[in-house]
Amino acid sequence: MIPNNQLSSTPIPNEFLTPTRMYPLVDYEWGGVGIRDLSQGRNGYLWSSSYVDNKIILSNPLGSHEILTVANVVQLSFAFDLNMNPYIAYKLLNGQSYLYWYDSTVNAAVTTPYGTVLSPMLALDDIRPNQNANADVIFAYVRDGMVYVRNQRERFQTEHQLGVFDAIVQMGMMRNYRLGFINVKVKKYY
């Protein structure tokens, strides 16, 4: 959870726990051994995304999982919730963005449209096991020069404005155990 749904007044930058994002269709996230499989813990494997033949694929060193089939994806980001359910934010060639997420009220994955937003990104804001009560999957995006977030615990229904942004390059937990954002133009950490 982002305290008070606000950026910190003083940025405290650090390295991200995942590799630097270099391509719009490749993202990274720490997770368990398999989709919905916590048998070896929650953070033992580095996962990556790819987009091949209209399929969004999530992979770790042990194997790959086709999650969605969607045509014309130009950008994607993913995260896992505390139960290793995959969440995927993606943007299509026509500019429309969507969030694929696990809705516990219907016990199934659903896809929600979010219109023409920039840089749809996802991250589990705190991967430490002792923070499970406070952890949230965070969905962030930029619209009209402002960054907004939506939280899993609010079922992504409430939009919270954080501040001025051009586009998000990377988002995720940093080595100082803070959720970080990199703003594209100024390469500024938050």
Are the beta carbons of 123 and 79 closer than 8 angstroms? yes
Domain count along the chain: 1
For residue 150, what pLDDT is reported?
Answer: 96
For residue 8, what pLDDT is reported?
Answer: 72
SS3 for the chain is CCHHHCCCCCCCCCCECCCCCCCCCCCEEEECCECCECECECCCEEEEEEEECCEEEEEECCEEEEEEECCCEEEEEEEECCCCCEEEEEEECCCCEEEEEEECCCCEEEEEEEECCEEEEEEECCCCHHHCCCCCEEEEEEECCEEEEEEHHHCCCCCEEEEECCCEEEEEEECCCCEEEEECCCCEEC
Are the beta carbons of 31 and 45 closer than 8 angstroms? yes
Beta bridge partners of 66: 57
Closest CA to 56 of 71, 37, 45: 71
Are the beta carbons of 33 and 45 closer than 8 angstroms? yes
pLDDT in tens, the chain (190 residues): 576 776 777 778 889 999 999 999 999 999 999 999 999 998 999 999 999 999 999 999 999 999 999 999 999 999 999 999 999 999 999 999 999 999 999 999 999 999 999 999 999 987 777 777 778 899 999 999 999 999 999 999 999 998 888 889 899 999 998 888 887 654 444 4
Are the beta carbons of 39 and 31 closer than 8 angstroms? no
Which residue range is the domain that position 48 belongs to? Answer: 3-189
CA atoms within 13 A on the CB side of 121: 29
Query: Is the whole-model pTM more than 0.75?
Result: yes
